Structure 1
Amino acid sequence: MSQRQTPAGRPRTGARVAAVQALFQSEQTGESAETVADQFIRHRIGAGEGAEAFEDGGVPLANIPLFQAILGAAAKGSEAGDAEIRAHLSKDWTLERLDPVLRAVLRAAAAELLAGREPPARVVINEYLDVARGFLDEETARFANGVLDAMAHALRPQEFGAAR
């Protein structure tokens, strides 16, 4: 994964960046989400200062409880989250065909959308679109936006005024 700097003063965004990185790492290494979360908390979150803090996937500013909640929800609800993602992919695409970073972004977002009413769906879409743009090219980020928007409308239609 390429490096992404979290804007200063945005620990919730940092938590989402770290969650996406941890989901990616868990999938790539086969390590459990709990193991990866522990590694991130010990070695990547809050470590270092300045630009060097972002090297090797560091996320110096991240809300640890939110990071743990997203990662835990994504791990526990992986079947439901993956089913939701699959439901919003075109017939030509499978979850397995997606870029692994995109898959991690969508899984983290699905976990938040499925977890409850907070944060608002539009916040989830915007936050994960920002994360996607930090790691992926613009075309893939637009694809992510379409899937995120469709999932949010399906899971929380009341927030958009009417069900689709």
Structure 2
Amino acid sequence: MTATRPTDTVRPANKRGAARLAAVQALYQMEIGGGELADVVTEFELFRLGQEIDGDEYREADSIFFRDIVAGVVAEQKVIDPTIHQALVEGWPLKRIDVTLREILRAGMWELMKRKDVPAKVVITEYVDVARAFFVEDEPKIVNAVLDKLARAWRVKEFEG
């Protein structure tokens, strides 16, 4: 069983959820703009997390969790990318996937690898919610399927029984 809710139900993000969303945005910014980790994290913490920008209010986020995700993805990318690549449908290499979707999968994979205190089903559900913040078509389903496949490989005990 995969961890999803009906598509018409979107919960407001808590501080960790806001941190996940911001982490995906920061990773996107680093990939597209080539920014350095420390600079991008500082920019987000000073000017985005819990701030209002151009009339949009950014939710308060768990800044430590945000930093952990962004720094963790950067540090573990050489393990994360091939792992995600193997979980994708044949013929769809990770580099061919939309940048935002790629960053969602990277952040989710990092949490599955490194945050054993967060249940795998929670990780999957949270990143499906992040995907819904950016996409309305098939991408949330892709996030669900790929992270579920990865979770079953990396967190076998959570899916036994």
- TM norm structure 2: 0.88
Partner of 1:76: 75
Q: 1:6 to 1:76 in 2, by over 3 A?
A: farther
Q: How does 1:122-133 map to 2 (within 5 A)?
A: 122-133=121-132
The gaps in structure 1 that reach 5 residues or longer are none
Partner of 2:34: 30
Cα contact 1:6–1:61 (8 A) shared by 2: no
Q: Once the two structures are superposed, what CA deviation does each residue of 1:44-71 show, in whole Å capped at 9, x if it has no partner? A: 012139x9243xxxx3311101000111
Partner of 1:109: 108
Counterparts of 1:154 and 1:130, CA distance in 2: 22
Partner of 1:20: 24
CA RMSD of aligned residues (A): 1.9
- Further displaced range: 99-108 or 28-37: 28-37
Overall identity of the aligned pairs, in %: 38
- TM norm structure 1: 0.86
Cα contact 1:153–1:160 (8 A) shared by 2: yes
Cα contact 1:13–1:62 (8 A) shared by 2: yes
Q: Secondary structure at the match of 1:93?
A: coil
Q: Once the two structures are superposed, what CA deviation does each residue of 1:73-109 show, in whole Å capped at 9, x if it has no partner? A: 1010011111111110111100111010100100111
Q: Secondary structure at the match of 1:60?
A: coil
Moved over 3 A (4+): none
Letter of the 1:40 counterpart: F
The gaps in structure 2 that reach 5 residues or longer are 1-9
**How much has 1:143 moved relative to structure 2?**
1.3
Letter of the 1:153 counterpart: R
